[in-house]
Amino acid sequence: MSTTAEPARERARATAAPSTRTLRLFDLLILSIGTFTLGVDGFVLSGLLPQVAASLHVSPGTAGQLTTLFALVYAVGSPIIATLAGNWDRRLLLATGMAVFVAGVMVQAIGPTFSAVAAGRVLAALGAAGYQATAYSTAGILSDDEHRARSLAVVAGGSSVAIVAGLPFGILVGQTWGWRVAMWVLVALAGLSALAVGLLPAVHAPRLSLRRRAGALTDRRVLAILAGTVTVLTPGFLVIAYLPAIMRSSGAWVVAAMLVYGAGQVTGTILVPRLIRRRGARTALLAGACGVTVVTALLTATRMSALAATMTMAPLGLAIGLTVVPQQHRLFADVPRLAPVAVGLNGSAIYVGSALGAGLGGLALVTGGSTAPTITAAAVGLLATLLTATTVRSA
């Protein structure tokens, strides 16, 4: 039996799943509002750590563990939710996920102690895991092969725009009126997103047994793609986590660098659907991985100048913007019936990359000084490039 024909047969079976209609741009924008809200949440707390730490009477290092806690809960929760609730109407799962996220953010906004805020962070992470993976799977399920890359890019664009617009807005609100007010702004955005879910069409993922869904964890095609996701995104997370130390600067220059990085990522997300259509998802990922490797190596030299380092962050964001959508697209191309679960696993892989980037960056900074993190990032980027180049071409 030909193994190359298997993905095509799976796509045919997957597209036979019942759905009322394909997604309109309006529907995709609804989903992107949710990913924008989650993107703001993912960054704003890190930008307000001094205020959070002072308010909760803990050290900044301890307050920083709230971000780590969120990442770990998301990474574990996303595939579990996708497996157990795989047969739910996507609208119900989206609305439930955002409602749990709202509850978690509200607990953070009113929590008087670090433990209470941490509990809210756990709730918010579970809600985010339920919403975000479902948003991507919904866009993938209700898109044909020709339009899937564009649909995924629109949804991913919410997260990218959050870096450019949402992050500085959230930090400004937090620094002006307090970090708890920033949490209430998130509650309002998430509430609107949850209500807007009702405007989406009804859709169910292909029906699979629990055993088959759990099998995504051992599918070699899925695992190969997840390994690529972890390695290609780790360098970006590493640089962002230790940007002040890398640039030997703080304040306005770091904020400017993040804004430039976000603008680059938005640009990459806009360009990648066309690249996927013309050259394939694997080629798009390879271009992103090569870009990440070259730019992080270049940052080793440009970091000595705040202006040069800031400008270098633009192509880094562009390269990262070329990497997320191709991986999701490959999951729908290679394992379409497992894609709703596999997309959740890919979301977990993103957060594993975040945690790995923070860990490797910290180790490099301690052992090798401020030059070592960018060198480490380039080395991991090279590994991602090699993994991508040696993976059997599928899409």
Segment 20-77, tens digit of pLDDT: 456 788 888 999 999 999 988 877 776 677 788 889 998 877 887 888 888 889 888 8
- The percentage of residues in the chain with a pLDDT greater than 70, rounded to a whole number, is 89
Q: Are 311 and 301 in contact (CB under 8 A)?
A: no
| Alpha-helical runs (H) found in 17-166 | 25-47, 49-56, 60-84, 90-110, 114-141, 148-161
> Which of these, 304, 317, 300, lies nearest to 264 by C-alpha position?
317
Residue 36: CB partners within 8 Å, gap ≥ 6? 158, 159, 161, 162, 166, 189
Average pLDDT over residues 213-229: 83
pLDDT in tens, 242-290: 888 898 876 688 888 888 998 999 999 999 999 999 989 999 999 999 9
For the CA atoms of 320, 326, 332, 335, what is the dihedral angle to 10 degrees?
-90
Q: Are 281 and 326 in contact (CB under 8 A)?
A: yes
**Is the sign of the CA dihedral 182, 187, 192, 198 positive or negative?**
positive
Q: How many CA atoms lie within 13 A of 374 on its CB side?
A: 23
Mean pLDDT of the chain: 85
pLDDT of residue 188: 94
Single-letter code of the amino acid located at 263: A
Q: Using CA atoms, how far apart are residues 96 and 91, in angstroms rounded to an integer?
A: 8
Helix, strand, coil content of the chain in percent (nearest 5): 85, 0, 15
Lowest mean pLDDT among 8-12, 116-120, 290-294: 8-12
pTM, entire model: 0.80
Instruction: Tell which wins on pLDDT, 17 or 30.
Output: 30
